Structure 1
């Protein structure tokens, strides 16, 4: 009995220590900021883009790249993933804008030249500033919000609170607590996770046409989370599964063309 008691004590101590590490390191895990500094778009290979520095409601300075839309074309308001930086998405941005579609791509606070440290509240303030930038230049119905991975939570929040033309979610989730809970099933993540990005509680307020794209072999955000979120969204909506597609390689499976068809379709 004494051995069993001490074994239980050791297991409990290890568990508590593990919880402490997860609690204090959670933002480093959720926001693994790449060690990349500010890169002008022309140096990154996107000379058609203009760099702007926006001031958020709480005083941070965040960077957006803007490729002006050709007359009559929509503009994509793009929110990147948690390990992304704008210069690393140039090939995608070229694909998005190749038909005259405009682009407003935000570098979240703490990422690649933007000031501050990331949090859910902070990213939503960054997104509000980026939306304001786009809305000052384009009609609301021209704005197509596109979120990837972590950025889908931001995209849903923007589309739930502001008028937009369409919403594209690539590798989305119901909430970050759901994803974390699948990774750490014995950890009560919902009790101590600070940044929960509850898209499942927001998406019903989105009235714009919705496109969800997800790879069937996504190892980071399993497709079941995208399917659950899609089920909560309003019509008109469309779910596109890419057989064999992973997390960040959907352009190889036709994501750009799928998105272009959705953007150009009348009424979504």
Structure 2
């Protein structure tokens, strides 16, 4: 898989749907990693064909793949301080209560091995650059308790788009309170979502 390959696939799917959907609206909805694919496809459609998709929805987005890679849990180490005490069963065995603490990897070579390798593989997924040139309605959805891609990244995408769009009313950010427990993967389960997206 490649970034350009993903974009080509989305545009092929767009053409297939367009031929069969009549006057129905077509939106590109990307979640997490898919947000970069959605904005890539929308931008290419606009720049190369002069066509705007009806809307783009970015659910739990990031600014670009480099920023995303620096935040996702796979690039973190879990340190587990232990509290030692009697086993709950009452036996003499030792019971360790693990309290995971997430620490950013500060190992030498981290940027080269992970972040620079993505660039060498032509993997950029630049939402922050793509939204500067889009003109279609853009909706950004992000949960405050997203532990994979923090809300800060979604806000940055929104601010970049809002600054670039001539019609500011076309750009909207909806955040979901942490108390809802939607995290990174469950915004779509919010029963209010259909109403919000309209």
Q: Which residue of 1 aligns with 2:31?
A: 148
CA distance in 2, matches of 1:140, 1:172: 29
CA distance in 2, matches of 1:132, 1:197: 22
Deviation per residue, 1:109-131 (Å, 9 max, x gap): xxxxxxxxx22122112112111
Correspondence for 1:221 among 146, 149, 152: 149
Q: CA deviation at 1:192?
A: 2.1
Correspondence for 1:240 among 168, 174, 194: 174
CA distance in 2, matches of 1:259, 1:205: 27
Q: Which residue of 2 aligns with 1:201?
A: 129
SS of alignment partner, residue 142 of structure 2: strand
Q: Which residue of 2 aligns with 1:18?
A: none
Q: CA deviation at 1:258?
A: 3.0
What count of residue pairs does the alignment treat as equivalent?
144
| 1:25-40 equivalences in 2 (<5 Å) | none
Which of structures 1 and 2 has the larger relative contact order (alpha carbons within 8 angstroms, sep 6+)? 2
Q: Which residue of 2 aligns with 1:262?
A: 197
Q: 1:138 to 1:185 in 2, by over 3 A?
A: farther
RMSD across aligned C-alpha pairs, in angstroms? 2.1
Correspondence for 1:127 among 4, 7, 10: 10
CA distance in 1, matches of 2:142, 2:7: 23
Deviation per residue, 1:153-175 (Å, 9 max, x gap): 11111221221111111001111
**Normalised by the size of structure 2, how large is the TM-score?**
0.65
Larger radius of gyration: 2
Query: Structure 2: 5+ residue runs without aligned partners?
Result: 46-51, 76-104
Q: Does 1:181 align with 2:109?
A: no
| 1:86-101 equivalences in 2 (<5 Å) | none
Query: Structure 1: 5+ residue runs without aligned partners?
Result: 1-117, 264-268
Deviation per residue, 1:225-262 (Å, 9 max, x gap): 111111111331111111123011113334xx434443
CA distance in 1, matches of 2:138, 2:4: 24
CA distance in 2, matches of 1:140, 1:158: 20
SS of alignment partner, residue 205 of structure 1: coil
